[in-house]
Structure 1
Amino acid sequence: MKFRQVLSFLVILIAVLFVAYQQFGSKLNLQIPSPGGIITTGNKGTDEAIDNSNSSRTINLSIASSSTKRNWMDKIVADFNRKNNKVNGKRIVASVEHVTSGGSMNAILDGSLQPVIWSPGDDSWTKQFDDNWKLDKNTPAFSEACVSTVYAPLGFAMWRPMAETLGWPDKPIGWDTIVNLASDPNGWASYGRPEWGKFTFGHTHPAYANSGLMSMTGFVYGITKNSQLTANEIYAPAVEDAMRRLEQNTSKYGKSAPALLELMAKKGTSFLHAAAVPEADTIKFNVERGNELSLPLAFIFPSGGTIWANHPLCILDKTDWVDSNQAKAAQMFRDYLLAPEQQKLAIDNYLRPLDSSIPLHAPLSLDNGTDPRVTTSTVPALPSPSLEIANAVVDLFKITKRKATILVAFDVSGSMEGEKIRTARTATVEFLQRLDPKDEVGVMVFNHELTFLSEPQPVANVAEDLAKRVSSLLADGGTNLYGAVCGAVKVVKELQQRDLANNESRLYGIVLLSDGEDTSGVVTENQMFATCLPTGAEIDGVKIFPIAFGDSANERVLRKMAELTAGRMFSADQNSIAKVYLSISAEQ
């Protein structure tokens, strides 16, 4: 009898809950996840996973948005979802993934990212995407032109006392100032501040990051004082000489502007003095992370003009993964985002509205490190680069940048057996093939022993042979992780000393791939940190980029290695290892 009573109660309860969901589910924001098509990168801006599959009651509106406008986009998506907007009786559920512009463009082109809305940092990316998409598919990806959403001007983040020494905020500071200071052997002594030493500078990689491409394009325009350049003129000797002077004195690259600012926050004023980043990221760090900064940052608008990145919004309605309901939902979201209320909200999130009649207010203030008096009238908006200009800028950057010496330390212990070593071999080969022919690369494999396949040599001479040997690596034995780190650092430091003796300036990095902990005990953890690694990050030192491969990797130790050397730790599995190697490519 009791069983029947319990069963009857459960049936009634389920029925009541079902009716309640039908009547009030949307108001209560009760959501049943839909299977299929989910992209998980760990940086979603909402509780929704990006999912292009639609249930019978919802329309999933996936958005891939450049990271500079993260705060603003997160707020808009949350507010939009609370309004329970509908298309044909179905509730729209928007979700956002924060991405890099170049990386997301390539991912959409190769099919690994399939959003309904794509919003990179600047029009130049949409031009590149459109040209490449049409070339491959012979049809457009969107039926309507992409629309501007907000402004995020590009410039320099510099420690405020240093910026004030250069005359900020009243004295014009241009790219020529940065180039001259970076290449001046006297450094800050030329400005009466010898205690600050040599000027150190960083910027993101123009092939991967919007801030990198826009900054380097602005650099070319600024140096030539000509915003109507042709691709041919970018290769002029004077332009190449100026970029070489800058790049040979650039100490840090990266895949995103926030990562560079994060490094400045962690390492303080003795590391990077300035970085080319958007205004929004600079002010966000001052406001939200000010207690972590050694000194406040100032944002410098390059005199003569800069690129006011307009963060276009594109609806990919002509692709085969977007249906008509999703296209209509995207139009509703676009109109909502462009409404005056959301444009005013941009200021609260460190961005500038499209409508210049909307008055600026804090946090866009001098107290927070930016000059609200600056407009497109005082610092002109330079044109977004065409595909030809963008390609020329990236190519000139590659020609003039400091070359890298890289040693890949590859764990081949027994725990790497099976799918792990298969995917790691493939990703490592792809990494070797992406390197500049004038870079130097070597590979060391380790289990309980250390074996050099090749010490770093010019990529053009060894990459093909190394790729073949890496492709046939086998997994066996224990893990001499700490000994491998010491051995790798020793070799790369010796190469660095050789280069210094020859007056050659390079970047030095160790890519350390491991899936576990040290099991050999030949070198202890404390011994490794005390005798093989620096006690603090050196701006031109050997940087370690550990890849924690799988759940068993010792992330605590790997992260400490990265932090001590101003490298960066990455977590990876069989599905993400290739993307991690791509990120490391942008660091060197």
Structure 2
Amino acid sequence: MNRTRVLFLAIVGIALLIVIAAAITRNNGGAGPGEATATAAPLPKGTVRVTLASSNTKKVWLDQVVKGFNAARQKTAAGNAIVVEVSHVTSGASLNAILGGTLQPVAWSPGDPSWVEQANTAWAREHGNRPLASQTCPATIFAPLGFAMWRPMAEALGWPDKPIGWDTMVALAADPDGWASRGRPEWGRFTFGHTHPAYANSGLLSMTTFVYGIAGKQDTLTVADVYAPQVKEAMQLLEQNTAKYGREAPAILDLMARQGTSYLHAAAVPEAEAVRFNVERGAELSFPLAFIFPAAGTIWADHPYCVLDNAPWVTPEQAEAAGIFRSYLLAREQQEMAIDSYLRPLDRSIPLHAPLDLAHGTDPRVSSATVPALPSPNADISAAVIDLFKITKRKATIYVAIDVSGSMSGAKIQSARTATAEFLRRLDPEDRVGALIFGDRVTELQDPQRTGDVGEGLSQRVLSLTSGGSTALYEAVCQASRALEDQRRADRAAGDARLYGVILLSDGRDTAGKVTENQMFATCLPANAETDGIKLFSIAFGSDADKEVLGRMASVTGGRLYTADPASISDVYLSISAEQ
């Protein structure tokens, strides 16, 4: 073989390895729904691809398992090598994306069987009574739900030896004396957060365990149990004292890490996330977190694995390959690895060890024998829990500020118009909404009013926006923040407890405003985030946006910075919907 031919074959081999490696690692950073399908690169001949959409909680574990499986080069009966690609998603958003056709994985692993039931029911309704997955979806691991609380506060409640339940959380949240009732007046009023049950697995399961705990049940719930007066009253007390919602549990814990003990005292999250923050971000935390199992029982979320073999985009060989990966996932060696990723193996004979121990914030003595395993909610219970949450949750007052400068022309303004109008239509009728636009100057479209009265008209105005001129960014932030602060003062005087948020969408830097950057931070935004203050959610729209300043705005208010482009702006607005 001559030297030229050897060099040619070597180049071809390296190219093939690069293609395989890119396919294996794509989306491991948390791609949004649909991205894996839209950007998947072709694989070499003789390879079958299994795309897996998996809930975020088991990201670390699954990334390791997928890496090991792909390295083993397992094959289908036809002799084709299997390559698994995993994207990490939220359960609710991935459910909607799969049913809507924008996410088309071969396999799906949400956080709980309740999502599978919803998917199969909805799919069968539209596809001749055929479920999305023809076979039972087996559990993969356990990720129990509970409370993450700053350790000194948890110890003041008696953790880890004294039972602590949802009734404790409700009583503490509703007590005007707050922590003074527990002998710690220096901590002030108790503040709590949880994810939105319509968007997040942790939110749905946490609110379901809440209903179980308040109803005093450990067996199957009924819809009547959910709407029972004592349950509604207790949820009303909790929600009116809940300071933070969200789409993902890690984002709430991240806020606790950044803002410290003065912001949130506890949040409803999976055990895995609380332990992970202690291990991976302990140096940033004011105190370690303690994970509290709800005393009356919790949902031991078991993260089912479904092969979507009835979906038209899944071939029989892909379904076979997904089944082979499922067997690998459930083998003892991979189950033992789960502990290192803060998850509990299905096989209870596997002994727990660090980091699932008291030193890292959780009690390894707890099992389903000591804290009962509550049944997962079916579709009817899920719908009722979400409905009760929406009835009782704190309403929001929101001000949307949209950049309409010349750089927003074309696809940017088109997608911004559509996504903003969709967001406005998702708001509760009892929320309040206002909006302004900014280019050379700031123009108010609507002062904050009841969404049921002005939402549709405002949506129509947004859909007709045009772009042009410079960017009065800082002036727009000040005008929106001052308008909301006026509303907040009036609401406080009237005894109306609301959440307040400014949504700021911009693709550039301040070029035309009458307000300087220093003036804005000094006079329009708080020096420190307040639990019940105005939160600013910045959307950096495109690569030219001033992410540094937009990020600082969000940080000082306890809000969040999002990055978006015309393809992802709708999903960003969906995340902000979960915050409010």
Q: In 1, are the aligned partners of 2:198 and 2:204 still within 8 Å (CA)?
A: yes
Q: In 2, are the aligned partners of 1:337 and 1:343 still within 8 Å (CA)?
A: yes
Q: What is the letter of the counterpart of residue 130 of structure 1?
A: N
Residues 219-258 of structure 1 correspond to what in structure 2 (within 5 A)? 219-226=210-217, 227-258=219-250
Distance in 1 (alpha carbons) for counterparts of 2:565 and 2:28: 12
| Change beyond 3 A, Cα 1:53–1:235 | farther
Distance in 2 (alpha carbons) for counterparts of 1:12 and 1:74: 35
Distance in 2 (alpha carbons) for counterparts of 1:33 and 1:302: 43
Structure 1 partner of 2:81? 91
Does residue 500 (structure 1) correspond to residue 489 (structure 2)? The answer is no
Does residue 143 (structure 1) correspond to residue 143 (structure 2)? The answer is no
Please report how far the alpha carbon of residue 448 of structure 1 lies from its aligned counterpart in structure 2 after TM superposition. 1.4
Structure 2 partner of 1:551? 543
Match of 2:7 among 9, 13, 29: 13
Match of 2:146 among 142, 155, 166: 155
Q: SS of 2:475's equivalent?
A: helix
Q: What is the letter of the counterpart of residue 154 of structure 1?
A: L
Structure 1 partner of 2:115? 125
Q: In 2, are the aligned partners of 1:39 and 1:113 still within 8 Å (CA)?
A: no
| Change beyond 3 A, Cα 1:238–1:11 | same
Structure 2 partner of 1:307? 299
Q: In 2, are the aligned partners of 1:282 and 1:297 still within 8 Å (CA)?
A: yes
After superposition, what is the alpha-carbon deviation per residue over 1:11-62, rounded to whole angstroms, capped at 9, x for unaligned?
66214544x569xx6xxx5435899xx99695259xx966386542211111
Does residue 74 (structure 1) correspond to residue 70 (structure 2)? The answer is no
Q: SS of 1:496's equivalent?
A: helix
Q: SS of 1:259's equivalent?
A: helix
Structure 2 partner of 1:3? none
Structure 2 partner of 1:168? 159
Which stretch has the larger CA shift, 496-505 or 410-419? 410-419
Distance in 2 (alpha carbons) for counterparts of 1:242 and 1:319: 42
Distance in 2 (alpha carbons) for counterparts of 1:237 and 1:465: 36
Does residue 415 (structure 1) correspond to residue 407 (structure 2)? The answer is yes
Does residue 563 (structure 1) correspond to residue 555 (structure 2)? The answer is yes
After superposition, what is the alpha-carbon deviation per residue over 1:267-325, rounded to whole angstroms, capped at 9, x for unaligned?
11111000000000000111111111000010000011000000000001121111122
Residues 322-401 of structure 1 correspond to what in structure 2 (within 5 A)? 322-401=314-393
Structure 1 partner of 2:98? 108
Q: What is the letter of the counterpart of residue 56 of structure 1?
A: K
Does residue 583 (structure 1) correspond to residue 575 (structure 2)? The answer is yes
Unaligned runs of 5+ in 1: 1-7
Distance in 2 (alpha carbons) for counterparts of 1:293 and 1:455: 39
**TM-score, scaled relative to structure 1:** 0.94
Structure 2 partner of 1:215? 206
Q: In 2, are the aligned partners of 1:34 and 1:53 still within 8 Å (CA)?
A: no
Distance in 1 (alpha carbons) for counterparts of 2:353 and 2:405: 57
After superposition, what is the alpha-carbon deviation per residue over 1:327-386, rounded to whole angstroms, capped at 9, x for unaligned?
111111000000011111111111111111111111111111111111101100000001
Unaligned runs of 5+ in 2: none
Distance in 2 (alpha carbons) for counterparts of 1:452 and 1:136: 43
Distance in 1 (alpha carbons) for counterparts of 2:41 and 2:232: 45
Distance in 1 (alpha carbons) for counterparts of 2:19 and 2:478: 51
| Change beyond 3 A, Cα 1:161–1:222 | same
Distance in 1 (alpha carbons) for counterparts of 2:28 and 2:505: 20
Match of 2:173 among 177, 182, 196: 182
Match of 2:19 among 22, 26, 31: 31
Q: What is the letter of the counterpart of residue 119 of structure 1?
A: S
Structure 2 partner of 1:43? 30
Distance in 1 (alpha carbons) for counterparts of 2:20 and 2:373: 46
Please report how far the alpha carbon of residue 464 of structure 1 lies from its aligned counterpart in structure 2 after TM superposition. 1.1
**Backbone CA RMSD of aligned residues:** 1.9
Q: What is the letter of the counterpart of residue 58 of structure 1?
A: T
Q: What is the letter of the counterpart of residue 14 of structure 1?
A: F
Distance in 2 (alpha carbons) for counterparts of 1:41 and 1:398: 33
| Change beyond 3 A, Cα 1:388–1:504 | same
| Change beyond 3 A, Cα 1:459–1:39 | farther
Distance in 1 (alpha carbons) for counterparts of 2:20 and 2:349: 43
Does residue 203 (structure 1) correspond to residue 194 (structure 2)? The answer is yes
**TM-score, scaled relative to structure 2:** 0.95
Q: SS of 1:548's equivalent?
A: strand
| Change beyond 3 A, Cα 1:440–1:39 | farther
Q: In 2, are the aligned partners of 1:445 and 1:453 still within 8 Å (CA)?
A: yes
Distance in 2 (alpha carbons) for counterparts of 1:331 and 1:39: 21
Q: SS of 1:81's equivalent?
A: helix
Q: In 2, are the aligned partners of 1:52 and 1:321 still within 8 Å (CA)?
A: no
Q: SS of 2:567's equivalent?
A: coil
Q: In 2, are the aligned partners of 1:156 and 1:301 still within 8 Å (CA)?
A: yes
| Change beyond 3 A, Cα 1:33–1:472 | farther
Distance in 2 (alpha carbons) for counterparts of 1:76 and 1:40: 15
Which stretch has the larger CA shift, 187-196 or 515-524? 515-524
Q: What is the letter of the counterpart of residue 7 of structure 2?
A: L
Q: In 2, are the aligned partners of 1:415 and 1:516 still within 8 Å (CA)?
A: yes
Distance in 2 (alpha carbons) for counterparts of 1:500 and 1:30: 60
Q: What is the letter of the counterpart of residue 61 of structure 2?
A: W
Distance in 1 (alpha carbons) for counterparts of 2:22 and 2:88: 21
Q: In 1, are the aligned partners of 2:399 and 2:433 still within 8 Å (CA)?
A: yes
Work out the percentage of aligned pairs sharing the same amino acid.
59
Please report how far the alpha carbon of residue 148 of structure 1 lies from its aligned counterpart in structure 2 after TM superposition. 0.3
Please report how far the alpha carbon of residue 576 of structure 1 lies from its aligned counterpart in structure 2 after TM superposition. 0.5
Q: What is the letter of the counterpart of residue 43 of structure 1?
A: G
Residues 384-463 of structure 1 correspond to what in structure 2 (within 5 A)? 384-463=376-455
Q: What is the letter of the counterpart of residue 64 of structure 2?
A: K
Please report how far the alpha carbon of residue 143 of structure 1 lies from its aligned counterpart in structure 2 after TM superposition. 2.1
Distance in 2 (alpha carbons) for counterparts of 1:334 and 1:129: 20
Q: In 2, are the aligned partners of 1:305 and 1:381 still within 8 Å (CA)?
A: yes
